[in-house]
Structure formats: structure tokens, C-alpha cells
Amino acid sequence: MTDPNVPPAISAFVATLPKVELHVHIEGTLTPELRWRLAQKNEIALPYATYEALLASYATMYNHRRELHGDNGLPTFLEAYYGGMEVLRTEDDFYDLAMEYFAKAKEMNVRYTDPFFDPQAHTRRGVPLEAVMRGFERAGRDAKEKYGVVVGWTMCFLRDMPVEDAVATYEAALWAAAQLGSNEYDRPPRLFADIFQRARKDGYKITAHCDVGQKDTHEHVREVATSCVGGMQGADRIDHGLNAADQPELLALVKARGLGLTLCPHAYHRRLPTDWVFGSIKKVWEAGVPFSVASDDPTYMHQQWVTENLGKVMHYCGFAKKDMAKIQRDGVAMSWAPDDVKRAILDELNEFEKGCK
């Protein structure tokens, strides 16, 4: 699904822009084609009799939160998201999932990405942690060699699961940055303060979701920006966090802490007014708070990948080409890429901008 309001010239420009993608859930890139193939390979029954029926299910505007908005008879986003994971069983399944995204990333001129992955969502289904980790780790290595995409994985703790399970998962898998995701309803970041402080001491980067429109979202942003997550300096960045634009003092706190936001515009635009979404992004921009633009869960969000999200931002915010290049530079600065990778991307952006009129 493309946004008919975004001019073709903007779409063409953002397609060629060298990019980083800092907010994409690898399980949220599971295509209907791969899901169907893995279901057949692993002999898993899907609730769809035909591939066409499965494909049609991806076009549904999923009810975002039943606990807030009631039950409309459709699966919530998280139900669809976790339901898709049922086909992922072996190391090769996780490898194939990641490599399919990395091939897409190359097509979109993504130079660096640090995808989120949800080990607890797989181990609670009986999938060995080793299968998850080895599949993704192998794909990360092959992505650089085959596609020229540098990968830095970010492991998520599911905040709607017990904190003790997050601790056990952390101890079993100690090679990724740490993130807090899944359903935030009545699960504030401070519940996980101890494990994040431990991760900080172990030298890991830290971030957390502060979902847009979530209950207590402003307090969640405040907690992530301060000592409740990651020690006295707070997290290293905030995922989503756009509601900080609602409160000038909160936006000022985020800026003072030197935090950037990873924004996924279509994730908000699919359920919130255009003026609020892009007006809030403009407030963040005007306040001088850095942000990157990413896709979140593109296959479950109308096939809106990082290019489509950037096109929306450029069009609805009225940004110039140089502004779009700055967003990528800010993303590079916010990223956890090695310094040599950062320098290479920045050099490429400088050359790219010279050719922009």
C-alpha cells in the first residue's frame, strides 16, 4: 500500500538516499510468502486455507489495543505479530527470515541496521535459544559479505513477561544490545531497572519502547530518559517516544539527555490524524532533538518499509533534500555501528548531497 499523496519525485529521491534503519523488528518483516513456505516445510497448520487468504489477512487494519479500544473482532497487531512467529522453528528458519530482510535492505540502500529480535517469543514456544541466536548471527555475518549491509543485533525483553524470565534470557544470550518492547500496558520501564543497570555495567547499549498513545506514555519517556533505565544517564536512545512532543518540558529533558528518537511514522499514521503525527515530528525537529526514521513491522503495517516512511516524512513535514540527509546523519550518530562504518556512511552522504539540487 503506497500513500497516494506522496509525489513520485519524493519517493524516487528517498529510494536513492543512503540509509540506516534503527527500528525494525526482524519478526515484523516476515512476508506472507515466507510464512506460507515455512508453514509447509514445518508442517504447521495456518488458520488460512489458501495462500490468497493469508495474503489478504496482511491488508487488515489491525485493532491496535483491545485493552484500550475494545474488541472489534479482528486480531490485534500483537496477536498477528506473534501468530506469524509460529512458523519459525529451526536455525535455518531464522536465517532465512533475516536474509530476506537484508536483501530488501540492500535494495533500499540501507547501509547499517540493528534489528530487534524477540528470543522470549520463541523460547516460550519451545524453540531452543541456540537456534534463534545461531540463525540470526549467521545471517548478520552473511549480510555484510553478500549485500554490503552491516548488522548490529538488538535483543528485546518482552515487558509483558515476568522480569525473572528477562534475566534468564539475558544470562543465556550476551552478545546483543538490550531493548524493552512488546505490550507496555501497565508495564512501565522501571520494572526492568535492575536488568538494564546490569546490562549497562556489562557494557551494552540500552533502549526502550515508549509507544505512541500508550497509557502513561509520557511517564515512560521520562523513566527511559532518566535513572530508571540504564543507570544515572538513562538509556542511550528512545524507541518511538513521539509523545514527548506533547510536553515542551519533556522534549527539553530528552534533548538535555542527548537522546535521539527512532520514529516509525506509518505505525502512527495508520491510526492517528495526519496533522498530529507529522506536526509532532516537526516539533521534535524544531526542538533540535535528533531522530531517525524506520519501518517498525513493515509486513504487518501495509508493506510500508523505511523508504515509504521517509517519503511520508519528507512530504507531510515539507522537508527539503538537505533535511532528509540530516535525518540520516543523525541516525548514523545515534546508531551503534562501529566508528569506521559510521565514517563510511557519512562520507557517502556527503557525496550524495553534493549531487542534490
Segment 287-306, tens digit of pLDDT = 999 999 999 999 999 999 99
- Residues 97-117 have pLDDT tens digits of 999 999 999 999 999 999 999
pLDDT at 268: 93
CATH architecture of the domain with range 8-31+88-354: Alpha-Beta Barrel (3.20)
Are 260 and 330 in contact by the 8 Å Cβ rule? The answer is: yes
Cell 524544531 found at? 286
C-alpha distance from residue 19 to each of 62, 110, 143, 147, 346 (Å) = 28, 4, 15, 14, 10
178, 186, 331: which is closest to 263 by C-alpha?
331
pLDDT of residue 141: 96
pTM of the model: 0.90
Residues of the chain with pLDDT under 70: 1, 60-69, 72-75, 159-193, 227-234, 357
Q: Give the distance from CA 324 to its chain's centroid.
A: 19
pLDDT score recorded for residue 182: 44
* Cell reading at 273: 490524524
Q: Is 51 exposed, middle or buried (0-12, 13-18, 19+ CB in 10 A)?
A: middle
Query: What are the residue ranges spanned by the domains of the chain?
Result: 8-31+88-354
CB count, 10 Å around CB of 182? Answer: 20
Residue 106, pLDDT score: 98
Q: Are strands 237-240 and 291-293 parallel, antiparallel or unpaired?
A: unpaired
pLDDT of residue 183: 45
Model confidence pLDDT, tens digit, residues 139-170: 999 999 999 999 999 888 776 656 666 666 66
pLDDT of 240: 94
